[in-house]
């Protein structure tokens, strides 16, 4: 054997290492060509977490490989604890993937109407009465739908739709002059 030649075992290990390193470079190429902010803006929060955990693991694993090439035992080095910590987070992200549920846009109409009632302090008694009637109608509709579907669920409308419907009803009913016994219709006071 020539003194400048490496043993066959060492050559084989170096070839495996070189193949693994080129594979890592090839897989990281799409990430390296894009700014991190641009990449993260395209990802969902769970995908973002997965990216961060994977990058942390890759960086620590590469550093661990470097330490091995320098003859430093990994078992005693702090990078081993860091790798264990990152693996724990990888497991958490995996668990979160299986428990992730899509958010629903269902609106609790009663809660929305309570919010509207309390946020407009100067509702007249008549307006409050009409709001209670609206609540009752919505509750009845919701109960009818639940009875048909045989599953309890809330009416699926957005908060903006509910608020607009409420304001339209109140405005339409409030624009007509209201006369009570022995009084004349009063003009609506404007708030500024």
Q: What is the pLDDT of residue 190?
A: 47
Q: What is the mean pLDDT of residues 40-52?
A: 87
pLDDT-wise least confident of 23-27, 78-82, 134-138: 134-138
Cα–Cα nearest to 47, from 87, 99, 94:
94
Tell me the pTM. Answer: 0.43
Q: What is the pLDDT of residue 100?
A: 65
Contact between 80 and 74 under an 8 Å Cβ cutoff? The reply is: yes
Q: Which residue has the higher pLDDT, 29 or 70?
A: 70
Quick: pLDDT tens for 139-149.
Answer: 787 777 766 66
Q: What is the pLDDT of residue 82?
A: 92
Copy the structure tokens of residue 57.
């693991």
């Amino acid at each position: 054997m020539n003194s400048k030649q490496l043993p066959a075992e060492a050559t084989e290990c170096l070839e495996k290492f070189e193949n693994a390193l080129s594979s890592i470079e090839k897989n990281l190429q799409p990430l390296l060509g894009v700014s991190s902010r641009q990449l993260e803006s395209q990802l969902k929060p769970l995908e973002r977490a997965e990216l961060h955990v994977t990058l942390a693991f890759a960086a620590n694993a590469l550093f661990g490989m470097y330490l091995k090439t320098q003859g430093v035992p990994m078992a005693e080095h702090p990078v081993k604890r860091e790798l264990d910590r990152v693996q724990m987070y990888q497991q958490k992200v995996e668990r979160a993937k299986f428990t992730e549920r899509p958010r629903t846009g269902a609106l609790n109409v009663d809660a929305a109407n309570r919010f509207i009632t309390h946020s407009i302090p100067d509702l007249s008694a008549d307006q409050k009465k009409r709001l209670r009637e609206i609540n009752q109608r919505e509750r009845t509709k919701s109960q009818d739908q639940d009875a048909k579907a045989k599953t309890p669920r809330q009416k699926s409308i957005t908060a903006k739709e509910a608020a607009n419907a409420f304001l339209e009803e109140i405005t339409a009913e409030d624009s007509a002059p209201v006369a009570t016994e022995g009084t004349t219709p009063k003009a609506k006071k404007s708030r500024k």
